[in-house]
Amino acid sequence: MNFLFSRVALIARHSKPEVLQSLIALADCLSAHGLTILVDSESASPAEAGRYQRVERAALGQQADLAIVLGGDGTMLSIARLLAPYAVPLIGINQGRLGFMTDIPLEGMAASVEAILRGEYVPEDRILLHASLVRDGVEISHALAFNDVVFSRGATGAMIEFEVFIDTQFVYSQRSDGLIVSTPTGSTAYSLASGGPILHPTVPAITLVPICPQSLSNRPIAVNDSSVVEFVLTRGSDTHVHFDGQSHQAVLERDRVILRRYHNTLRILHPIGYNYYDMLRHKLHWGERLM
């Protein structure tokens, strides 16, 4: 059987033993077809991985030409940021409930994965954001985000004040609990809960969604994904910038955070028949079609 990929990385949430069992079962199936299997070292201990090679998570992008995640959207987010620099495509297998990105059920996963490996799939390229934190004219840190970059007030509970520029043009100053800068992928996450719009993953846009703004005239806006967004903190203590809700950095007054589309996209491979709107209807409990 001819497959398009030969070195497959498998990643799972280690907190669920039954998912690890599924990972090993999938490894056995793919190995039987002659594929090289790489198991994420954070997903399985040496004893659990058995005969399969364990690889540090940060090195998977360098060694694999396809990655399969058995887990939720949170696991997909963390893996996406690691794989995007290497253009390694990703497949998501859910753990019993449909995710926004993990759309293959555990039941029958082997058949679905084998079909994708043969080239029977729907590809979807999704953007990431690259964020640079600049202090006194010097970049002190940078990070990637697949869902969103969130600026938030600290433990004091006081609102923060900031300015936003797009392509060096001043847009507005704002006093609020924070700001969400979201990709289309992240438009169904925190952004949606804060009143932002849902964007189809193929829409070339970035959204800016205020979090509880003091002025009711502040509304979410969408800009072209080629735009450079700049956030400048003018007032606020204990302010932080968060990347996909999984890492964060302190932001001081007069710090600037520059956001732009990352040069690589992340390709997600869906099974034939995948429909983004079916997924939305199921996750958001929209009404079914009347017959």
Known catalytic residues are 73
CA–CA distance, 162 with 172 (Å, rounded to integer): 9
Token representation of residue 16: 């669920």
Does residue 280 contact residue 188 with C-beta atoms inside 8 Å?
yes
Containing 227, the helix (H) or strand (E) segment is: none
What's the full length of the chain, in residues? 291
Say which DSSP state 82 is in.
H
DSSP-assigned beta bridge partners for residue 243 = 149, 247
Residues 6 or more apart whose CB falls under 8 angstroms from that of 201 comprise 124, 126, 184, 185, 276
What the block records as the tokens of 71 is 């887990």
Sheet holding 229-235, edge to edge: 138-145, 129-135, 256-261, 229-235, 160-166, 169-176
Using the structure block, give the residue that is written with the tokens 């490996």. Answer: 117
**In the chain, how long is the greatest CA-to-CA distance?**
62
Do the bridges between strand 148-152 and strand 36-40 make them parallel or antiparallel, or are there none, so unpaired?
A: unpaired
Q: Is residue 75 helix, strand or coil?
A: helix
Helix (H, G, I), strand (E, B) or coil at 187: helix
Between the CA of residue 106 and those of 19, 66, 72, 88, 171, what are the distances in Å? 9, 18, 12, 22, 47
**What is d(CA 274, CA 270) in angstroms, rounded to the nearest whole number?**
6
